[in-house]
Amino acid sequence: MQKNLIKYVVPIVLIIIGVLWYLLSSDVLHTGNATGTVINLGKDIPEQSDTYEVSEHKETSTRLIAVHICGAVVNPGVYQFTEEVRVIQVIEAAGGVCDGAMEDYLNLAQHVSDGERIYVPSEEEVLTGQFTGAFDNSEKDKLSININTASRDELMQLPGIGESKADSIILYRNEYGSFKSKEDIMLVDGIKEVVYDKIKDYIKIQN
């Protein structure tokens, strides 16, 4: 009977030992994994710390004006300036006057506007009466532009009124209606008191 007992006990003990060995082995493996090093498979992306300097571009709204100078000057032609200048500066830009020029017949201190034409007379032209000034009294009486109905070409007959200013006058008329007084023309963009002083004797208001 003892032999039979041993026959049954031994297998049971072996089974228990096997189970314990299996459990201990599994725990060791689990513990090893738990203490393993975590590897980051992702690539480190460096922070971009580039500083972009935004240069502040100041737009200089420089307005160019074109002036035609002719007559007794060294280099007649059309010149551009970045601002309203005076007659003397335009003459200097054209190389000065020629021998025999009568520049004293011009107002050298007068401001010049966009699209204006300056004619420097010669002594001969003055002596023979060919030149009596840009606008003498007789011409002033004849030139009377109705700024409420004048066309572009008619407006450009006025001193200091070029294409751009003539277009601005017509645009103002179309947008706001007729001028109520001669002074109202100074409401037009680009027409200041300097220009108005040049044209006030040659314009009129009629509806």
The average pLDDT across 143-170 equals: 88
What is the pTM (predicted TM-score) of this model? 0.40
pLDDT, position 77: 92
pLDDT, position 75: 95
DSSP string covering 61-100: -PPPEEEEEEESBSS-EEEEESS--BHHHHHHHTT-BPTT
pLDDT category, 6, cuts 50, 70, 90? low
Using a pLDDT cut of 70, give the percent of the chain over it.
68
The average pLDDT across 16-20 equals: 76
CA angle 171, 185, 181 (to 5 degrees): 120
Q: Is the pLDDT of residue 139 over 70?
A: no
165-176: pLDDT as tens digits = 999 999 999 999
- Strand-pairing partners, residue 79, are 67
Question: Higher pLDDT residue, 28 or 116?
Answer: 116
3-state DSSP of 133-155: CCCCHHHHHHCCEECCCCCHHHH
